Chains A and B, each alone.
Chain A
Amino acid sequence: MTDIAAQLNGLRPQLLKFARLQLRNASWAEDAVSETLLAALERPQAFAAQSQLKTWLIGILKHKLIDQIRRNSRELSSTPEDGLDLDEELFQADGHWRDAPKDWGDPEHCLQQLDFMRVLDLCVERLPGQQGRLFMMREWLELDSEEICKELAISPTNLWVMLHRARLRLRECLQQHWFDEQGRGGDAATKREQA
């Protein structure tokens, strides 16, 4: 294999991972990644000038993912699981917390750890389809609410409801798979195997 082919081949699984997290559809994700690699190959000079190949490819991939979202927007619908709301579990009937949120400590402590990023991967992956898609559009593609509503033809209220659920789920997952484990003194690697 040529050097270029080997490099692209090596980065492909990582591109695919984020494409899947964004689109929640394996074949669209494959297409978006193939389009990304083709686009990179069509610009050999730009390719050669990249010191940060992955950064450049992820940048292209993000555009291709938005194209895929546009192309398939009608099929990007909610599933019953997307309708599940954690609010009832978190709050009593009078609106008070059932269990008070726990102190997560110094953010830098966890943010610097690669294992925390892996738990984040896992927690985003576990979001239901539409919640995950919208969360990724907002937090990873960094689209604003207006753009997301326009691309998917959904109302702002619908978007906020879905992001509300997604963020609460993500919080639960981080609590369970990272902060509770840290408190117990278990290390992240053994915990992930149990997950």
Chain B
Amino acid sequence: MKLMRNCREITALVLQAEDRELGVGERLAVRLHMLVCKACPVFGRQLQLMRRASQRWRQYSEVGTEDPGQRR
């Protein structure tokens, strides 16, 4: 298990965490990287925003009263 990984590898793991549970070694590698990297925590927050946006989008699909397609 590789402990120190680069931004590209960490980004891949953080993305996969949206769709599967990471192993403990993977979680540790992400946590360690986040301590020393400035860029990846920002990416993590973007992904968090996207997750909440999806949730909001689902609600909007059910109760939105207008069709944005018609106004485009």
Is A167 touching B18 in the complex (CB atoms < 8 A)?
yes
How many of chain A's residues touch chain B, expressed as a range? Answer: 35 or more
Question: Which B residues are CB-close (under 8 A) to A160?
Answer: 15-16, 19-20
Question: Which B residues are CB-close (under 8 A) to A118?
Answer: 68, 71-72
B16 closest partner in A (C-beta)? A160
How many of chain B's residues touch chain A, expressed as a range? Answer: 35 or more
CB contacts between A and B, total, < 8 Å: 112
Which of A14, A91, A96, A171 lies in contact with B46, CB distance below 8 A?
A: A171
Bitwise, B38-72 to A at CB < 8 A (1) or not (0) is 11101101111110111011101111110111111
Given A94-B6, A95-B7, A170-B50, A140 and B61 contact (CB-CB distance below 8 Å): yes
Which of B39, B64, B65 lies in contact with A100, CB distance below 8 A?
A: B39
Question: Which A residues are CB-close (under 8 A) to B72?
Answer: 118, 122, 192
A-B contact pairs, 18 of them (CB 8 A): A17-B69, A54-B62, A58-B61, A87-B8, A91-B8, A95-B8, A97-B7, A100-B42, A101-B46, A103-B45, A104-B45, A107-B49, A118-B71, A118-B72, A160-B15, A167-B15, A171-B50, A192-B72
Bound Cα distance A167, B14 (Å): 11
Question: Which A residues are CB-close (under 8 A) to B42?
Answer: 100-103
A45 CB within 8 Å of chain B: no
Question: What residues make up the interface of A, taking CB atoms closer than 8 Å to B?
Answer: 13-14, 17-18, 52, 54-55, 58-59, 87, 90-91, 94-97, 100-104, 107, 110-111, 114, 116-118, 120-122, 138-140, 142, 145, 156, 159-160, 163-164, 167-168, 170-171, 174, 192
Given A101-B39, A120-B53, A164 and B12 contact (CB-CB distance below 8 Å): yes
